[in-house]
Structure formats: structure tokens, C-alpha cells
Chains A and B, each alone.
Chain A
Amino acid sequence: MKEKTLEVCGLTVCIPTEKGVIRPVNDVSLEVPAGSIVGIVGESGCGKSMTARAVMGLLRSPAKVTGGSVFLCGREITSLPEKERRNLRGAEISMIFQEPMTSLNPVMKVGSQVAEAIRLHTACSREEAKARTLEIFREVEIPEPESRFSCYPHQLSGGLRQRVMIAMAMVCKPKLLIADEPTTALDVTVEAQILNLLERLRDAGTSVLIISHNLGVIAKVCDYVYVMYAGRIVEQAETKALFDRPEHPYTRGLFRSVTSLREGCETLETIPGVVPNLLRLPAGCSFSLRCGQCTENCRQNIPELLETEPGRKVRCFLMGKEGAE
């Protein structure tokens, strides 16, 4: 059995609103084995970023973890006092975000920002921190690291900024890197470079949890994939198995919606309707409103996430029954 870098069990996040309590993350369990890249895929509002923030302990009030536990290398971390969690962040577990411009300090030189992270977590002098920063800049392939050290974020391109973010996240060699839509704001040629970099990090021993809406990104780098819809995991499987044969009606719809680069077609497949409002979720399966195969049972009861074959779980009443494709 492989060691698990991250294990999340029954994680639930609640946000009280004027119109009632919503659960953007609802009973989510997932794991990231050591030395692997795991993906969470889903549309906006499905709870994928919220899951990541909950794991980091970075939820903004009034969002709160109300159930479940998070284990980092076997150690439960949600019950730790805030001070200890802060020490974990950056040292053991790091996160990079979609838009590097909003997560870097605009009035601080990028080199100093990375050096600050080093000095926060290790006892070392300014000179050592600077040397280490230049070294990590080289590792993430930032050209001319010496001159980039004293640049401000706005002087760098989007791709370079994301590299600085990755450098900052990686500089203390964390066990887990959470990448929330790391390439969404970038051009395709830069995206390919960044994905390549994430793969090299994995090979160097860091486990990665990637959050993305882009199935191309998931297919390219992930070993295992979780599909989220309206706060719940609806399907999980190894990447090859999932892309070979998606089973949940939502996953199937998502895969059919992907436009092909190689061949044209007359009309594009769509999933009818829109993602449901979390305040007005249907009583039964949350996908029932958009599902072509929905039955009375689906409208009334919430299906369990059940194993359909080794390594794959699906949350749908129709699995294994007649009528399912």
C-alpha cells in the first residue's frame, strides 16, 4: 500500500446565508498518494476550489468546516490550533492560484517575496535566503534569475508570475502542492510549459492536487481524477479508465461537450440547463434536473457513492442497472 500524502474524509463546508445554510462542499472524501498528481474536475461553483481552501485552512468567514477530517501524512490537521496550521502552510503544504497577479504583493520585489517565505520557515540569513531564491528560480526555469529577483510583479509576464508563485510554493519542499486552476489565466504555449514543470515537481517527490475545469489539463498530467458536481463527488477513477469510459451521466455529458481540435462537426453536444443553485438543490440527486435518464427514485433520494469496479466509484442509481448505457 502506497503512503498517502493527503487524505480527506467526509469533509463538509457550510456557509450560512440570509436565505439558509448552503453546503458548497458536502461529504467529500479523497486521497492523494505519495508521488502522484490527482485532479479534481468540475464546473464553476461545484465546490472544487472550496475543497482546496478547506484543506489549506484558508476558508474565509463565514465559510466553515463543519464536518470531516483532513490528514496530512497521517496527521489530522483540521483540529490543530491556527498557529500550528500557519506553520504547516508553506512548509508542508502549499498552494498556487489561478491569477498570480492577485496573489503576489504588488509593492514588493518578487525575489524578496520568495526569500521572505524561506526566512519564515527556516533559520537562515538574508544572504542564504537570496542564494536559495536564485537557485529555486533556476529550477523553475525563470530566465535571468538575478535580474528578475528585483522585479516587481507587474513587470513580469503572466507565465513568469506563475513561475514565481510556484517557486515560492516549492521553496521549502512541501509534501503537497495544491494547484487551483494553475494555467487557466495563461496562454496555451505557456500552459504546456507550466504543466511540464508540475510533472517534474511530482518526479522530485512532491504530491500535487490539481483543480481544473479543463479536461485536457487533467488528461495530460493526472493519475487519478475526482469529478465534482454541486458540492459532491459524483465519480472518481483512474484517469485512463475515466476518459475511456465515463459512467456518471454528468461526466458523460462533460466529456461529450469537449470540442475536438482535430475534426469539425455540425452541432456541439451540450448538457441542457445550468448548474443548480445551492440554495435550491433538488431533494434527490443534484444532477436529476439535467439528467436525460432521471427516474422518480432519482428525484426523491440521494444516491450513494458506490464502487462499480476496483478503483472506480460512481454516485448514480442507474449504475449496473438496465437503462444505463
Chain B
Amino acid sequence: MSEYLVEARNLTKNFPAAGRKTVHAVSGVSLQIREGETMGLVGESGCGKSTLGRLLIRTIEPTSGEVLFRGQCITGMKDSDFRQYRRDMQLVFQDPYASLNPRMTVRDLVAEPIETWRLCAGRKEVTQRVLELLHAVGVPAEFLYRYPHQFSGGQRQRIGIARAIAADPAFIVCDEPVSALDVSVQNQILNLLKELKTTRKLTYLFISHDLSVVRYLADRVCVMFLGKVCEIGPTAEVYQHPLHPYTRFLLDAVPVPDPTQRGKEIRLLKGEPPSPADPPSGCRFRTRCPYATERCAAEEPALRKIGETEVACHLAGLLTER
């Protein structure tokens, strides 16, 4: 038995693009997620974080590399063999408006995975199980026969979560689960996810562009830039002592809700992000990095361990603290 629940080995995913170009969405990413931990995945739009999430639960196939689940390679596995793993991995979507069938009642929406996996026999038992799940996610039982449009965004996301946990999965990929919600509702959903993780012994990959949300939920955090991992480490460590220059810029750019901090001049990233269809040689961040040297253009930095953090930068550890 492997010590990791999910493991990505040298995963690469290329998409064909217009003009015979190739978009390198994910390039050679290796990542290990331990049972019971929450791995935060942050980065800006287009860095490949959603693609990576989808690769891990095999909703898309990698161009190369492999995914291991409980030590078993699931890449290229026959569908009939893979079926038993599918139940263990679920996805919570960003947009609760788009991810629920508007013509199904809440009962049928949540019952769908239960029926697919034949977890209960008989209609009554299924409904009973649906009610238990709705209770677990905080949707009142009297809403059982309502339709998605009759709910607020927060309630819809709760229904989406009920669907995800219906088949008792081990691993859930949460892809920006709260970015469509208002702040006061966001926190309700984050608290719910944290509670479910403990009560149902879940492992999360939590994808978000909001660094403070990841800070709250994740045990470890992985920072991506243009399809590559920049830095992986314990959340508190990475947030307090970021080693990769990109992580520093990312953390510095978050507007702090404290007007007294305003005078503090922050350094802004210059220029435009490079295109994933035509990534720079060597380190992919080098065209925007103020510390870049010749070596950064010639040689791609590999992940190396500094303390408990792994970082892909030639200069990490040599740069002065912020």
C-alpha cells in the first residue's frame, strides 16, 4: 500500500490550438497527496490548475505521465477496471448554476449518484439517504422537491457538494468552489467543506485563485505557473517564507483589507504573462522575473528541497527575505 492516496508522475497535457500550435497546459508535473490531507493548488488563470485537477481524477487523459491512486496506476486502465476507482473520486465545480440540471429536483439530483452505484435498494431508501445527505450539507428537508433555480448560489453549492459526497468518495477535487459566491456565504461553504473532511475522512485537492481561502483550508499548498510547479510546501511555511520569486509576487499582490498598509509600496509584476502555446526556454517565469540570470534561460530549474518546501528556482535560498 502506498503512503500516498493520489500521485501524479511527470504528468503532461497538451491541447491542440489554432494554427497548428500546441498549448502546453500541464508540463511534467509530479505531485503527491497523502490520505486525509488538503492540498491547495494556486496560480493565475491559464496556469493549468484546473487541467491538473481533471487529470488527477481522469476526466481527461494525459498526453504523457501517469496517475496513481492508492498506489495503482489508473492511467490507460480499461474502463471496466477503472469503474471501481471512479466512485472514489469526485469533483465540486465552480459554478453551481451551470453544474446542476435545471430540470431535475434536488431529490433526483442527489439520488443520481446513489442510483448509479446502486448503494440503496428501493425508492424509499434512496430518498432516506438523500435526506441524510441534505442534512449533512445543511439544506432543509422541505426543499426536497424544489428545482435548482429556486435556490441561492450558496444553497446550490451545498447541493453540488451533497452530490459529490453521495457515493462516499475518498478524494474530492474542489475547483474554485466558492469564487462565484458572496463573502458571507463563502465562509459558510468553506466551513462546511472543512467539517465534511473530518466527519467523512476526505482528501481534497482544493483549487483556487484566492490565496486567503487556500490559507484557511490547505495543509500543503502547490503554486503553479504556466503549467509547471514553482513551489510545494506546508501552507504556513510557504505563506510566511515564500522561496520562489513568483510566490512572493503573488502574495504581495493580494490587496490587504487594512488601509494603514496602503503606504507600503509593493512591487508589481511587469509585462504580460507569456503564452502557454509558446513558453520561454529554461525557467518559464524568467521573462517576468527581476532576478533572472543567463542560467535561468539556459537551464530549466528542477524541484529541490529547501527545509520542508520543494522549489523550482535556481536562486531560491540565495535571495534575501522580503
**Which of A's residues lie within 8 Å of B, judged by CB?**
43-44, 143, 157-160, 187-193, 195-196, 213-221, 239-240, 243, 253-255, 257-262, 264-265, 267-271, 274-275
Contacts and interface: CB of A to CB of B under 8 A. Distances in A.
A188 B185 CA distance: 21
Contacts of A191: 253, 255
Given A187-B209, A193-B268, 7 more contacts: A159-B272, A188-B253, A192-B269, A257-B186, A258-B212, A262-B240, A274-B152
Given A214-B255, A259-B187, A264 B268 contact: no
B259 A255 contact: no
B211 interface: yes
Interface in B215-255: 215-216, 235-236, 239-240, 249-255
Contacts of A254: 183-184
Interface residues of B, number: 45
B154 interface: yes
Contacts of A143: 271-272
Nearest to A183: B255
A243 B259 contact: yes
Interface in B264-301: 266, 268-269, 271-273
Contacts of B215: 259-261, 264
B257 A215 contact: yes
State the main secondary structure of chain B at its contact with A: helix
A31 to B, nearest CB: 20
The 10 closest A-B pairs by CB, nearest first: A216-B255, A187-B44, A271-B184, A268-B187, A43-B182, A259-B212, A215-B257, A192-B253, A188-B253, A270-B187
Contacts, number: 122
A259 B266 CA distance: 21
24 contacts: A43-B183, A158-B45, A189-B44, A192-B266, A193-B268, A217-B255, A219-B255, A219-B256, A219-B259, A220-B256, A254-B184, A257-B186, A257-B187, A258-B183, A258-B212, A259-B212, A261-B211, A261-B215, A261-B256, A264-B215, A264-B235, A268-B190, A268-B216, A270-B188
Contact of A269 (B182, B187, B256): B187
B184 A220 contact: no
B254 A188 contact: yes
A228 to B, nearest CB: 13
Nearest to B155: A274
A187 B46 CA distance: 10
A151 B133 CA distance: 51
Nearest to B262: A220
Contacts of B194: 267
Contacts of B182: 43-44, 213, 275
Contacts of A257: 183-184, 186-187
